[in-house]
Amino acid sequence: MNKHFKAAFTAICLLVSSTVYAQPTKSDSPMLVEAGKRLFNSFCIYCHGFDGSGTDAPAADLSGVPTGDLSNKAYMSLLSDEEIISRVAYGEERFPYLQMPGWRSNLDNNKITAIVAYVRTLAVDKGPLNGPTPAERLQRFKSDPLERGRIYFLRYCSGCHGKRGDGKGWMAAKALNKPTPIGSPKIAPTLTYDSVKAYVTNIDRWDKSYMPVFSEEEIIGKLPDIIAYIKTLPEQY
C-alpha cells in the first residue's frame, strides 16, 4: 500500500494491540456479536458502511476498487469464517485483488473473530450471485495481466488520473497542477516501461509534479500490467 493511501486509513481508524493468529472459535453468542458490532463500527464502516453493502460509505471508493458487499448472502456464503478472518487480517498482502488494508497489526484474532460473527448477521438474500465467485476473482487476477493491471491502475493511479485515465480522479480537484490524462488516445500509446519507471520513481521532480514518488519495491513489478491496461483506456474515450 502506498503511503498516501495508508495515511488516509490511519487517520480515520483506531489503533489497538496485535497478536499471532490462531484458528477462530465458532461461538456466535450475542456478546460476541455485540463486541463485533462495536469493532465493525470502529474499523469497517468507513469502507463497508453500517449495513456492510458499501453504499454511501465515505471511503468505499478510496482505492478505486469497489468495496465488497458484505451483506450479499450469495457471495458471503461461499466464504468460510477462516477465509474472512484471513482477509481481514492480511488484506491486500494475501488478496491483492481486494485492495483493502490488513488489520493484523491493529486487531488480534479474537477481535477479528468477533467482527466476522457480526458480519454474518448482515447477510441478506439478494438473489443469485450476479458476478464472479471469490475463487473466480482470484483466478482471474492470477491469470489475466489486464485484470491485474486494472486493479493496480485503480489502486495506484485512478485517484488522480481518473478511472478512465482522463485526469479527473477524485483527488484531481485538489491538485495544484492537474494530472495528465494518461488514458487519452494521444498519450497512452506513447507510454513505455522505461519512461514510466523513470518518472514514477524520480525523487527529483517535485518542482514539476506533485505526483507521489513510488519506491521500486512498491511499483516496479506491477508496471508492465499497469501500462498494458492503460493502453486499453483510449477505447473508453
Which pLDDT value is given to residue 14?
Answer: 35
| Residues 77 and 172 occupy one common structural domain | no
Q: What percent of the chain has pLDDT over 90?
A: 67
Those residues whose C-beta lies under 8 Å from the C-beta of residue 222, and which sit 6 or more positions away, are 148, 149, 152, 156
Q: Above 60 in pLDDT, residue 3? A: no
Of 186 and 67, which is predicted with more confidence? 186
Which pLDDT value is given to residue 134?
Answer: 93
What span, in angstroms and rounded, lies between the C-alpha atoms of 108 and 122?
22
Enter the pTM of the model: 0.79
Q: Above 90 in pLDDT, residue 5? A: no
Q: Over the stretch 109-147, which tens digit does the pLDDT of each residue have? A: 999 999 999 999 999 999 999 989 999 999 999 999 999
Q: Residue 134 phi/psi, 5° resolution? A: -55, -40
What span, in angstroms and rounded, lies between the C-alpha atoms of 143 and 41?
36
Residue-range definition of the domain harbouring residue 52: 3-136
Highest mean pLDDT among 16-30, 54-68, 70-84, 163-177: 70-84
| Residues 128 and 149 occupy one common structural domain | no
What span, in angstroms and rounded, lies between the C-alpha atoms of 53 and 69?
4
| Residues 187 and 121 occupy one common structural domain | no
Q: Above 80 in pLDDT, residue 82? A: yes
| Residues 119 and 153 occupy one common structural domain | no
Which pLDDT value is given to residue 24?
Answer: 41
Which among 136, 165, 183 is the end of a domain? 136
| Residues 7 and 119 occupy one common structural domain | yes
| Residues 79 and 172 occupy one common structural domain | no
How many domains does the chain contain in total?
2
Closest CA to 51 of 134, 126, 104: 126
Which pLDDT value is given to residue 28?
Answer: 64
| Residues 122 and 157 occupy one common structural domain | no
| Residues 153 and 131 occupy one common structural domain | no
CATH number at residue 199: 1.10.760.10
At residue 26, the 3 state secondary structure works out as: coil
| Residues 176 and 74 occupy one common structural domain | no
C-alpha cell recorded at residue 98: 481486494
| Residues 192 and 79 occupy one common structural domain | no
Q: Above 80 in pLDDT, residue 185? A: yes
72 burial via Cβ count (<10 Å: 0-12, 13-18, 19+):
buried
